[in-house]
Amino acid sequence: MNKWDLIVDSEPGVGSWNMAVDEFLFHSLGNEAAHTVLRFYSWKNPTVSIGYSQKAEDIVDMEFCRLKGIDIVRRITGGKLVLHSDEVTYSLVSSDNDTFPPTVGDSYRQVSEALMVGLREMGLNPCLAQVPPEEYAREHRLCFSYPARNEVEVSGKKIIGSAQKRFGPKFIQHGLIPLKDNEKLLRSVALSKEKEKIQMISLSQALGKDVDFDWTVSILCAGISDYFDADLKVRILTQEEKKAIRYIQKERYTDPGWTFGTGG
């Protein structure tokens, strides 16, 4: 049985903190012993996150976000604009090349399949999406415009959006499961607004009932544990680790040069 760390943040975090924790966990993976950390978290404020290579001014209505108090962060992973609000966010970092395939596509699909186990336990019938239209990859679309290849959809609509980054034998994949419908606000934070096609469904919509963070996380954890034969051991970040995370938060995720630049 695989031994994994499990971090469940009981309190919602601001966007800069959430991204700093994910980056810290990714870079803290050693190059010798295989190690995997699964984390679940939520967001204190509605927050727009953009992919590493995106430029905020090209896709985000920054004046609307400023007036409404919506935060903006840039991820270290790729992908497209996402609005984080009323959701469960997961991240998985690993250096275990025995468990995970060595390519982005194959490991991405594997994580999606594991998440689907939990969705099936909830009573849903999820499936992996096929290749989206060519223009989706080229244009400044929203993450939930189309399900990308091997993302998870229900009834033809995306229910989990994810992105992955690899560095040698290590990778990070994080993504979100919306608990409630936020399509109206999602359209409002995007410059494209009414032109934007959105194909998303929240977990509450798919199930026909309201669900919360704790219930969702518990079932997703059980599904991931079953799929990977993983023993999830709860991990609490130490004060020393939190100090290192605060440094990353300050140096990168609260830096306008990082957030509103071009991602390097």
Residues 75-100: what's their mean pLDDT? 95
Q: Which residue has the tokens 């079953």?
A: 226
| pLDDT (0 to 100) of residue 263 | 53
Q: Which residues contact 219 (CB under 8 A, 6 or more apart)?
A: 118, 121, 122
C-alpha 147/C-alpha 198 separation (Å) is 10
236 within a domain of the structure (yes/no): yes
Q: Is 149 inside a domain boundary?
A: yes
Distance (Å, whole) CA 207 – CA 180: 11
What's residue 195's pLDDT?
55
Rounded-to-integer distance, Cα 7 and Cα 99, Å: 20
In a domain, 133, yes or no: yes
Q: Using an 8 Å Cβ cutoff, are 158 and 146 in contact?
A: yes
How many Cβ atoms from other residues are within 10 Å of residue 81's Cβ? 26
Residue 54 DSSP class: -
| pLDDT (tens digit per residue) in 189-216 | 998 755 557 789 999 999 999 999 999 9
CATH of the domain at 93: 3.30.930.10
**pLDDT tens readout for residues 214-262:** 999 999 999 999 999 999 999 999 999 999 999 999 999 999 999 998 6
Task: At 21, list the tokens.
Answer: 């924790």
Residues 73 and 15: their CA atoms lie apart, in Å, by 6
Side chain identity at 52, as an amino acid letter? Y
So what's the pLDDT on residue 1?
Answer: 84
Catalytic (active site) residue 143: yes
The mean predicted confidence, pLDDT, of the chain is 91
Q: Flag whether 113 is in a domain.
A: yes
pLDDT at site 136: 47
Residue type, 253: Y
The structure tokens listed for 198 are 């959105």
Helix (H, G, I), strand (E, B) or coil at 208: coil
Q: Give the span between the Cα atoms of 145 and 81, in whole angstroms.
A: 10
Q: How many CB atoms lie within 10 A of CB 145?
A: 23
Higher local confidence (pLDDT), 179 or 140: 179
Residue 250 has what pLDDT?
97
Interhelix angle 213-228/104-122, rounded to 10 degrees, is 120
- Expressed in percent and rounded to 5, the helix, strand and coil fractions of the chain are 40, 25, 35
140 neighbors 189 (Cβ within 8 angstroms):
no
Which one is catalytic: 65, 127, 143, 221? 143
Domain boundaries, position 242: 2-259
Q: State residue 33's pLDDT score.
A: 75
Q: What is the mean pLDDT of residues 47-64?
A: 93
Please enumerate in sequence order all residues whose Cβ is within 8 A of that of 137, keeping only pairs 6 or more positions apart, or say none.
none
pLDDT above 70 covers a percentage of the chain that reads 90
What band does 142 get if pLDDT is binned at 50, 70 and 90? low
Q: For residue 228, give Cα distances in angstroms to 36, 81, 113, 114, 209.
A: 11, 30, 10, 7, 29
15 within 8 A of 56, measured Cβ to Cβ? no
Is 264 within the bounds of a domain?
no
Number of domains in the chain: 1
Whether residue 116 is contained in a domain is answered as yes
Within a domain: 193: yes
Say how many residues make up the chain. Answer: 264
Name the β-bridge partners of 160: 152
